[in-house]
Amino acid sequence: MFDYEGQLDRLLSQQRAEAEQTVSSTASFATFKAFEAAFQEIDGSILSASTAEEQLSIDFASLALLIDRWRNELNYFVDDIRLQLQMFDPIPYEVIDRVNELRFKVEFKILPAYEALKVKLADIETDFSNIAIAYKSLVESSFNDMLIFNNNHNDIEGNFSAFNDVSVYIHGIEDTGEDFLANIPEVSKEGDIVIHEMRDGSTAYYVVTDNDGTLELGDRMTEREMKETSAYDSGDGRVHMIYETEYQNEHRQKTSNDLGKSLIALGLMQGDKNIQLHSHSYGGRRSWQFALDYPEYVESITTIGTPYETNSLASAGESAANVTEAIPGALGKHPLEYNEHVELDSLSGAASGVELNDNAYGDMINTSMDEVVTDVTMANPEIYDDLQDMYITAATGRQSTIIGSLATDGAVSAGSQSGDVLSEYIDEQPVIKVFNVGIAHSAEKTHDEFKEIMRDVNEINFR
């Protein structure tokens, strides 16, 4: 009548059998060890499940639900004993002692072991996610290469395959492409087509028109409307792409992968394409990464305000965010923004269960661009020659005041902007004095001198 120990043993045996079957289906040794540690804590038992399956198959949400069910079964077991004992009066003392021991075992040994198992599985899920995201970048880059090869080999065209001249404008951190869009009339020619890929996933199209001798953006159009224009039919003009990153502070490698995917889909990375990259601030790092990944298509890189070296302001911004995210968020800054990118180096030595996130801020804090270029050119010496063939301009914005110009634009030092660490590749290092009531860093990308530089680069015939 009072075989409560036997009931608990049978319940645990049933749960252990479910664990054996579940662990075997996951083919995960880490998951196996987590479950085994829980049952060893409970009763010293060792699981015999095999994890020899060839393919991992882990549904962490289902595992959490399974453990929650086990915990509910145990709680129900304890409650059921309490209800049964209410039927006896008096209750034998030896039964009370045995029941108290069982309740203590369930509440202070078994249930905590299952809770610890859930925590461990959550850590494993995070570790798996970190690894998957780190290798995702490599897979996406390789997939882009395969798409380019397939499109060229099979003459698969995109909507803009007929256009050979392409200018891409890449913004920096905490920014959008709106300022570059406003620049277009002054860096383009009549009949050029403008594609604005926005962060929300939408795309706007424009044609540069002449209004009494002044170039301006025409009305915003849909893709279908743009295809009905004479500018599209001729295929003679330049395509200007204003590219907005998915995350405003995403890592340069994620931008390179995503931008490559977009240009491939448009037919702008096949055949004899000539891409001019124009960028501001961290966008310059993004441009360089794209040029390293797809050097055969890049003719020029033009940057202003780019931190080629490590940047102390990025470190200050991230430190502030570590104290409280409310302050940088209120100021429109998001140094800790998640961006679905993890560097392979970050996996080494990372604590288990810690979500990794390598975004633009971390990149500027830890990495100088000469290190990136050196690593790539040592692995692939041909890219060294490709970079030498590119026309590269590293413009420096300087905050100008009534008493003179400063050796910074308010965010990045002049020495870092000029790209001295990559001087062997850089052809031009112009200095632009920006007189602005605010920070010059924000205004330099729309400065007349920088627009003139971009226009001149767009007009160069590199072929």
Predicted confidence (pLDDT) per residue in 55-104, tens digit: 678 899 999 999 999 999 999 999 988 887 777 777 777 777 888 898 99
Mean pLDDT calculated for residue range 422-429: 97
Say if residue 285's pLDDT is above 80. Answer: yes
Q: Give the model's pLDDT for residue 51.
A: 72
Per the structure block, which two tokens stand in for 170?
Answer: 């890449």
Mean pLDDT calculated for residue range 42-53: 82
Say if residue 307's pLDDT is above 50. Answer: yes
What single-letter amino acid sits at 70? W
List the one residue out of 381, 415, 231, 220 whose CA is nearest residue 309.
Answer: 415
pLDDT band, residue 429 (cuts 50/70/90): very high
Predicted confidence (pLDDT) per residue in 349-373, tens digit: 889 999 999 999 999 999 999 999 9
96 C-beta neighbours (distance < 10 Å), count: 12
Helix (H) or strand (E) holding 384: helix 381-389
How many helices (DSSP H) and strands (DSSP E) are in the chain?
19, 10
Angle at 408 between CA 460 and CA 375, to 5 degrees: 65
CA R_g for the chain: 30
Give the side-chain half-sphere CA count within 13 A for 324.
4
Predicted confidence (pLDDT) per residue in 191-202, tens digit: 999 999 999 999
Length of the chain: 463
Q: Global pTM?
A: 0.87
What single-letter amino acid sits at 141? S
